[in-house]
């Protein structure tokens, strides 16, 4: 079996320096070490880069510096991803105010990522959202990525 194809939500990169949540930060830093050693095929999207660009300067520069330390593939937001994100919104999988999150999930799904990694428990790592993404993706013929936290990946690696 090949390496896991992991799509990184912006929250993962952000938690590399999140002293207000030390446990999440530690888990993210441990995961990042695995990423640096090329244990996974890592993907981000242009949406991720746009979100990083909106951060205050020191955070933005830190996140860009951390991304420069890893190998990743940047995925584009194309028409197919847009259509899928609109389906997530129209089916109530995500609310309109979470359009950016729908875009992340659509890009990862369209590009057949195995995993979406996130610390966003409201719009990603949430049983209701996960179940609804599963339904939409199966209905529309897309791969269903597993949506988990970096901690879950670390636990999987320990097994």
Our count of domains for the chain comes to 1
For every residue of 93-158, DSSP letters joined together read SS-GGGHHHHHHHHHHHHTT-SEEE---TTTTS-HHHHHHHHHHHHHHT----EEE-HHHHHHHHH
Residue 153 belongs to domain with CATH number: 3.40.50.1010
pTM of the model: 0.95
Q: In what order do the strands lie in the sheet containing 73-75?
A: 73-75, 41-45, 5-8, 115-117, 146-148
d(CA 95, CA 89): 6
Q: What's the Rg (C-alpha) of the chain?
A: 15
Q: Tell me which residue range forms the domain holding 146.
A: 5-158
pLDDT exceeding 70 applies to what percent of the chain? 98
pLDDT tens digits for 6-43?
999 999 999 999 999 999 999 999 999 999 999 999 99
């Amino acid at each position: 079996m090949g390496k896991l194809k992991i799509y990184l939500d912006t929250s993962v990169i952000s938690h590399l320096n999140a002293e207000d949540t030390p446990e999440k930060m530690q888990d993210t830093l441990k995961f990042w070490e695995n990423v640096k050693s090329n244990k996974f095929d890592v993907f981000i999207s242009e949406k991720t880069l746009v979100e990083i660009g909106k951060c205050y300067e020191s955070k933005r520069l830190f996140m860009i510096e951390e991304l420069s330390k890893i190998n990743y593939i940047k995925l584009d937001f194309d028409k197919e991803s847009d259509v899928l994100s609109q389906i997530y919104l129209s089916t109530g999988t995500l609310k309109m105010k979470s359009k950016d999150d729908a875009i992340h999930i659509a890009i990862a799904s369209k590009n057949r990522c195995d995993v979406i990694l996130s610390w966003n428990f409201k719009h990603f790592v949430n049983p209701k959202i996960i179940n609804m993404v599963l339904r939409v993706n199966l209905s529309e013929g897309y791969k269903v990525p597993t949506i988990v936290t970096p901690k879950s990946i670390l636990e999987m690696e320990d097994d």
